[in-house]
Chain A
């Protein structure tokens, strides 16, 4: 066994998995244990599997995934903080046959960009929005986000989020589901293989909706961890996410085919 080299292991007959060609070879800038890398990969896998590479334009936000265009090997535009749904609208309106998606974090989508998010969803833009919710501002170093849980500590809520002073976390996904312009709204996670598979199915449905010209936004929230921002190991962060984030942000479909899912 000790004589087997790496080259022998990755012979075609031994290959059980390859990275999608729609991810570049650039080393990810994300912290070990972060969900962004998985969310990027499954998004790109879906685009490749649906054969949409040549007609897809992605929008990168401001936040940890500001450099998403370094990793996603398709045409991309980087948007000002929170403006990705407006940028996506601009592209989709002049290239209606293209596939346009934005990829945004919680600060970007649910604080500074709330206006653009709500109105793009309300107009029923035929775009996909992928929303990574980790309850914190990761890139700037762990400040309170619109989605930070009550009592949760961050660098700008060092004694925990006091909702009487700092306001309540915003369940933006439930909010956009109420708008007539959203067609598919779901909340998923990528911290276990089973969840990755479910999320990939959701992202696939979102892009299929757009490809098929379904009326309205397909909105996929992914509840994710931010182990460095939460000051936990990746494993502890995932456990903490299951115990604290999921009860507040329950996983599952909220709206399918333009209809709210009855609970």
Chain B
């Protein structure tokens, strides 16, 4: 049964992992996302659904446990925060190369280096442009509420298995730590071993005598074959770009100016829209839900409809703004505003930036 609860973002995510019918979670503590593994350990999911929870010796080990379990057809997840996500990048690249389905979450904190434990959105480049080595992409979902922290677990697993791709829930310290009401979706039963064997013939579940063995690898020493493999990956990413773009338009119908934002910055920008409207400025919000694929086509279309300027609002020195510029492609003014290094901007600052950088700039 779906249930209404008051929860932290990290707890909602953890509860959703159990309800999504996951087979395992492998994690390692790091602020501000440690509640995920704490919640899972306290909930004893092994008794509820048979799900495995294991605290690994490092983020590196955790993502490689995910690689192994995902390669054997199971529904698995890990999560961390920025420095820990950097450690996972090798594994993510292997998972992308070997085309395995998995879900992971980054509750972003300020960087670079050990940075700070306060919220940030400075991992946009890492999340959307690669992160690890090689030509790969991953689907990136950006929740802007505790509700979406839960819902995107379910959606993320579906996308991961549909495309055999790593899916990232790119959250931040605000969304992870804040409490909101959340309607938890009905539990989905875990697949049985037999169902896994039938649904995922590529998975290493033990080779039946006389049949072809399954190999999970990202390696091919023949460069021409590797180029073919890369072309196959690119075709998949193109299909995802075509079919899986998600965004939300708020107060955009008559808007002359748009904030472009995701995650907690979108919540702040939503308030800035209200403040702007109260002053007679026709502002709207283009909220990104998928960061990859980026809603390039829709943004370009909005630009053609007479938007006078876009203000990219993000808790970084300006990362997402580059994709906005590429989408807008010079047809309208684009500027960036954001506090960073763990500082969260206020709606007033966001509005002031619109007035100065776009309207008056």
Indicate if the CB atoms of B66 and A83 lie closer than 8 Å: no
Indicate if the CB atoms of B57 and A54 lie closer than 8 Å: no
Residue on A with the closest CB to B55?
A: A123
Smallest CB–CB gap between A15 and chain B, Å?
A: 21
Cα separation A90 to B90 with both chains bound (whole Å): 16
A211 at the interface (CB under 8 A from B): no
Using a Cβ–Cβ cut-off of 8 Å, how many residues does chain A contribute to the interface with B? Answer: 33
CB contact between B215 and one of A78, A87, A90, A116 (< 8 Å): that residue: A78
Indicate if the CB atoms of A116 and B61 lie closer than 8 Å: yes
Smallest CB–CB gap between B186 and chain A, Å?
A: 23
Cα separation A87 to B64 with both chains bound (whole Å): 5
Q: Which residues of B have CB within 8 Å of A73?
A: 207, 213
Using a Cβ–Cβ cut-off of 8 Å, how many residues does chain B contribute to the interface with A? Answer: 41
Indicate if the CB atoms of A91 and B72 lie closer than 8 Å: yes
Residue on B with the closest CB to A59?
A: B68
CB contact between B207 and one of A54, A67, A94, A118 (< 8 Å): that residue: A54
Residue on B with the closest CB to A76?
A: B215
Interface string of A58-91 (1 = CB under 8 A from B): 0110000011010001111111100100111111
B157 at the interface (CB under 8 A from A): no
Q: A86-B60, A87-B67 are in contact. Are A69 and B215 (CB under 8 A)?
A: yes
Indicate if the CB atoms of B52 and A54 lie closer than 8 Å: no
Cα separation A79 to B204 with both chains bound (whole Å): 13
CB contact between B54 and one of A54, A67, A83, A93 (< 8 Å): that residue: A93
Indicate if the CB atoms of B24 and A116 lie closer than 8 Å: no
Question: Counting chain A CB atoms within 10 Å of each CB, which of B61, B70, B221 scores highest?
Answer: B61
A57 at the interface (CB under 8 A from B): yes
Indicate if the CB atoms of B213 and A90 lie closer than 8 Å: no
Residue on A with the closest CB to B54?
A: A93
A119 at the interface (CB under 8 A from B): yes
Indicate if the CB atoms of A95 and B205 lie closer than 8 Å: yes
Cα separation A67 to B221 with both chains bound (whole Å): 10
Question: Counting chain B CB atoms within 10 Å of each CB, which of A56, A75, A89 scores highest?
Answer: A75
Question: Which residues of chain B in 201-215 are interfacial with respect to chain A, using CB atoms and an 8 Å cutoff?
Answer: 204-209, 213-215
Residue on A with the closest CB to B74?
A: A94
Smallest CB–CB gap between B131 and chain A, Å?
A: 15
Q: Which residues of B have CB within 8 Å of A74?
A: 206-207, 213
Indicate if the CB atoms of A77 and B204 lie closer than 8 Å: yes
Q: Which residues of A have CB within 8 Å of B76?
A: 90, 94
Q: Which residues of A have CB within 8 Å of B57?
A: 115-116, 118-119
Indicate if the CB atoms of B54 and A57 lie closer than 8 Å: no
Smallest CB–CB gap between B80 and chain A, Å?
A: 15
Smallest CB–CB gap between B37 and chain A, Å?
A: 15
CB contact between A76 and one of B54, B91, B204 (< 8 Å): that residue: B204
Given contacts A76-B213, A115-B57, A118-B57, 20 further A-B contacts (CB under 8 A): A60-B217, A74-B207, A75-B204, A75-B215, A77-B216, A78-B218, A83-B61, A86-B56, A87-B67, A88-B68, A90-B24, A90-B64, A91-B72, A93-B52, A94-B74, A95-B74, A95-B193, A98-B206, A116-B60, A119-B56
